Amino acid sequence: MQRFTTLFPLFGSLFLASCGEPEKEVVKDAPTGPESPWSRADWPVARGGAGLSGQVGDPVLKKPITLWTFETEGPIAGEAVVSQGLVAFGNDLGWLHVLDLKTGEPKWKKEFEDSIEAAPAIFEDTLFIGCQDTYLYALNLATGEEKWKIQTNEKITAGVNITPSPDGSTHWVVLNGYDGACRALDAKTGDQVWIHQTEEYINGTPAIVDGKWIVFGGCDRILYTLDLATGKPAKQVETNAEIVSTVATEGTFVAWGNYGNEVLAADVTAGKTSWTYTDRKFPFMSAPAIDKTRVYIGCRDKKIHAISREDGNGIWKYKTGGRVESSPLLFTNALVCGSSDGRLYAIDLEKGEEIWRVDLGESIIAAPSFADGILLVGSEDGTLFALGEE
């Protein structure tokens, strides 16, 4: 059973603090909409763009209210994506839902044989979704009709990325799988362009860097930089612990957390770490968000950490009431992140102080996303929340 409700304020659950006027930041991979006051009109892939930086390019909502909710019966682990006024997300019961962004009304849904933990991806009229049934599906965005599917050797838990082919003639889908393989596929046909095999599971979405490299980490404790054109290794960094989540990049800078209670950074062209950040003995399961000066990441120690991008020193920590496995969203003036305590937090970037919090009442491990003034996040109870300006 699914239910959606619309337009009610979050009385008693919103706490506000003052903040300065934000300076506008331009995000290269943020699409624009001519009729929208927001620079971020779509959120078509995990973490918002090919580099997986988590940047929005807009200021945070000042006084968020719930515009609508959509209830499913299964936990939501992957972030929702948005394109052409449609929201797409999956749940642990194997249902893929596509809704109207403005109203939350369902457009179509499709059931699969196993759980969906991955974020979908949308390119033009095609929706791509990986499933724990070992298949990657390409579906018609408007109808859900299957265009093609390819089978891997294990479950798929990471969202795909999409990039122009090196010669510019077509677009490729880049897929990481639990079978330890990174694959490049033709987006129109699903034909395999190349495959690179690693020794262990890969959980994270691959980043596309400068249209030249693919960057990701795996459970073999290695950060890989592959040549986009061939899939052959360009550089790799051996680390001390499993990389269990998605990396974040901006330019050739890359940051990631690991299961060994560390956050690390490197230049993808250097083949060695730049710095390592440690705090308490809790793993970093969240994907980072990064800007020109800092790395932001959630931790199982119930805190969100801000780290200097230059030297890896800690800048501030913000404590929530539960584990932070949700990946933060970076606005021009604030960081937004969910927690297993059931709250969504907005934190001032400079001071690390709370701007507001919204008590959704349901544990959050999925990353939030943002498009056309609407903040989306799914819960472990199976509800997709859509927040907008009061």
Question: For residues 76 and 362, is the Cβ–Cβ distance under 8 A?
Answer: no
| Tokens (6 digits) for 163 | 């990039």
CA–CA gap between residue 347 and residue 220 (Å, rounded): 34
Q: Mean pLDDT, the chain, as a whole number?
A: 92
Q: Give the three-state DSSP class for 208.
A: strand
% of the chain at pLDDT higher than 90: 90
Model pTM? 0.90
Query: DSSP H helical segments within 163-321, as ranges?
Result: none
User: How do 213-217 and 181-186 pair as beta strands?
Assistant: unpaired
Across the beta sheet with 106-111, the strand order is 81-83, 86-90, 95-100, 106-111
pLDDT of residue 35: 63
- The distance in angstroms from the start CA to the end CA of the chain is 29
Residue with tokens 């196993």: 114
pLDDT, tens digit, for every residue of 138-185?
Answer: 999 999 999 999 999 999 999 999 999 999 999 999 999 999 999 999
The DSSP bridge partners found for residue 277 are: 263
Maximum alpha-carbon separation in the chain: 55
CA–CA gap between residue 85 and residue 265 (Å, rounded): 36
pLDDT, tens digit, for every residue of 73-121?
Answer: 899 999 999 999 999 999 999 999 999 999 999 999 999 999 999 999 9
pLDDT, tens digit, for every residue of 208-249?
Answer: 999 999 999 999 999 999 999 999 999 999 999 999 999 999
What is the CATH topology of the domain spanning 3-345+360-389? Answer: Methylamine Dehydrogenase; Chain H (2.130.10)
Burial of 171 (0-12, 13-18, 19+ CB in 10 A): middle
CA–CA gap between residue 114 and residue 133 (Å, rounded): 5
The DSSP bridge partners found for residue 256 are: 264
